[in-house]
Amino acid sequence: MTKYCAIRFFHERYLPCLERKLRRSFPDETSVQFHSLLSLWIASKLHETPPLSIRKLQNIAKKLIPDHYYTKKDFIDAEIKFLEAIDFDLKTGPLLSTYIEELLSEIRGKSKEIAKLVSLELCLAILDLLYVCEDEILLATPVELTGASILYTYHRTQALAA
């Protein structure tokens, strides 16, 4: 859930704010990586107990962005700017993982046989692949993405069983 919330913060909320602020120029790769980490950190504060610590965030940053070192102050200052950019609005709306959970629950209520063949973990793994494969996939509605991941999972399981 944290991952999908972070994607939503970064892609749907923060990037549009950055694009408006910078007009035509897009931030460099290091800045994008750093701000995507901030999205993950903020999302973890909403969805995890305990959330990611700054030390763990620094370790992740060290691996992702080896030519930069970020202090605790860097993260805290950037978090404040990030939150200001999204007007401190932490609502995310329904996440794709929520749609998948709800649809799988409906399927389980209707057909135990199909429910055995489709696992939440596999659906979420397929959803991750959909995110990684194409930027255009983010234009699809949550219901379409949910349906695609569940349908693929079901067909893949059927093919393996045959």
Q: What is the pLDDT of residues 122-151, one digit of tens each?
A: 777 777 766 666 555 555 555 566 666 666
Give the residue from 106, 132, 133, 117 showing the smallest Cα distance to 7. 132
Q: What is the pLDDT of residues 46-97, one digit of tens each?
A: 888 899 899 999 999 999 899 999 999 999 999 998 888 888 888 777 666 7
**Terminal CA-to-CA distance of the chain, rounded, Å?**
33
Q: Is the pLDDT of residue 22 over 70?
A: no
List b or e across 137-154, with b for residues whose CB sees 16 or more CB atoms inside 10 angstroms.
Answer: eeeeebeebbebbbebbb
Amino acid at 85: A
Spell out the long-range contacts of 21-24 with Cβ–Cβ below 8 A and sequence spacing 24 or more. Answer: 21/85
Peptide bond into 50 cis (omega under 30): yes
Give the residue with greater pLDDT, 154 vs 88: 88
Q: Where are the domains of the chain?
A: 2-85, 96-161
Please, are residues 54 and 44 in contact by the beta-carbon 8 Å criterion? no
